[in-house]
């Protein structure tokens, strides 16, 4: 599999705090990769540098071999890096389908406000994306009345409207019930397999991480202490040390091995 994202010696300090130190890793085409670590480990800082929201103190980020270090979020997004957020960003007054149509109109660089027939544009494409996330029967419902789990699936459809080659998902299952979490990540894994896109996600729920990731990276105090398969990460002595207090990595030992 070809390398989509390459991160080399990435670092970010806030005053005296080294939030991210000398982090290097790769994400390959069609890979579902998790970035985990305790609170304050540097996951969000790392994500924000990949998306262009934060400029690294040092290091390099390349997408398809092209240096994108310090590029603006808009430029990174235009090059095919999508993102979903912990807090969903849908237009509440619109229907489910209209939200996806808006994303498609934006992706194709049309200006929504000046298009009198905007509500008809990309309707079929929007319905196809909603079918992909299992929401075609909710196309005409108002976003304001959607259940939280459905909003997260809609957000995934909106992100896919931009045809990302790499999707960054920041705690995609936060605030969801356990069964909904597994379902959302199963859906994400299916889309990764079907469309060949790559997904890098942060997550606190270890069941979600160990059930679905192809590879898992562990950050601790800004340093990358492991990068491997679920079995390799579980067996890593430093990871065990970091997680031993909470025991979260080992509660489901054997369940997904």
Ligand X SMILES: Nc1ncnc2c1ncn2[C@@H]1O[C@H](COP(=O)(O)OP(=O)(O)OP(=O)(O)O)[C@@H](O)[C@H]1O
Segment interacting with ligand X (CB under 6 A) among 39-47, 77-85, 181-189, 233-241: 39-47
Residue 178 per-residue DSSP state: H
Please state the separation of Cα 108 from the chain's center in Å: 22
230-249 footprint of ligand X as x/- string (CB under 6 A): --------------------
Distance, CA of 105 to CA of 115 (rounded, Å) = 10
Does 200 sit near ligand X (CB under 6 A)?
A: no
Please tell me the count of residues contacting ligand X according to CB under 6 A. Answer: 11
Q: Which is nearer to ligand X, 45 or 101 (CB)?
A: 45
Does 19 sit near ligand X (CB under 6 A)?
A: yes
Pairing of strands 81-84, 166-170: parallel
Q: Which of 30, 40, 80, 228 binds ligand X (CB under 6 A)?
A: 40
Structure token digits, residue 185: 């990540």
Report the run of H or E that residue 118 belongs to, with start and end: none
Q: Which of 2, 9, 14, 246 binds ligand X (CB under 6 A)?
A: 14
Q: Which of 37, 56, 82, 172 binds ligand X (CB under 6 A)?
A: 37
Question: What would the 3-class secondary structure string for 144-157 be?
Answer: HHCCHHHHHHHHHH
Q: Which is nearer to ligand X, 28 or 204 (CB)?
A: 204
Q: Measured at the alpha carbon of residue 90, what is the angle toward residues 86 and 96, in degrees to the nearest 5?
A: 125
Residues 42 to 81 in contact with ligand X, rule: CB under 6 A: 42-45
């Amino acid at each position: 599999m070809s390398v989509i994202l390459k991160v080399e010696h990435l670092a970010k300090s806030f005053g005296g705090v080294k939030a991210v130190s000398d982090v290097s890793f790769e994400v390959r085409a069609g890979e579902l990769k998790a970035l985990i670590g305790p609170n304050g480990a540097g996951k969000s800082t790392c994500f924000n540098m990949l998306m262009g929201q934060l400029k690294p103190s040092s290091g390099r980020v390349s997408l398809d071999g092209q240096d994108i270090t310090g590029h603006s979020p808009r430029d990174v997004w235009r090059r095919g890096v999508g993102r979903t957020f912990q807090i969903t960003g849908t237009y509440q007054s619109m229907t489910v389908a209209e939200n996806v149509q808006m994303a498609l109109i934006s992706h194709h660089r049309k200006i929504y406000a000046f298009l009198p027939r905007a509500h008809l544009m990309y309707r079929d494409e929007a319905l196809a994306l909603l079918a992909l996330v299992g929401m075609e029967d909710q196309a005409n419902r108002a976003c304001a009345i959607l259940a939280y789990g459905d909003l997260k699936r809609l957000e995934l459809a909106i992100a896919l409207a931009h045809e990302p080659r790499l999707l960054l998902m920041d705690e995609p299952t936060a605030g969801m019930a356990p069964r909904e979490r597994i379902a959302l990540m199963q859906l994400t894994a299916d889309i990764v397999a079907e469309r060949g896109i790559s997904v890098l996600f942060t997550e606190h729920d270890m069941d979600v991480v160990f059930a679905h990731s192809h590879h898992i990276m562990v950050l601790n105090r800004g340093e990358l202490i492991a990068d491997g398969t679920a079995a390799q990460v579980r067996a890593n002595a430093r990871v065990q040390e970091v997680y031993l207090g909470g025991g979260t990595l080992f509660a489901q030992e054997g369940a997904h091995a």
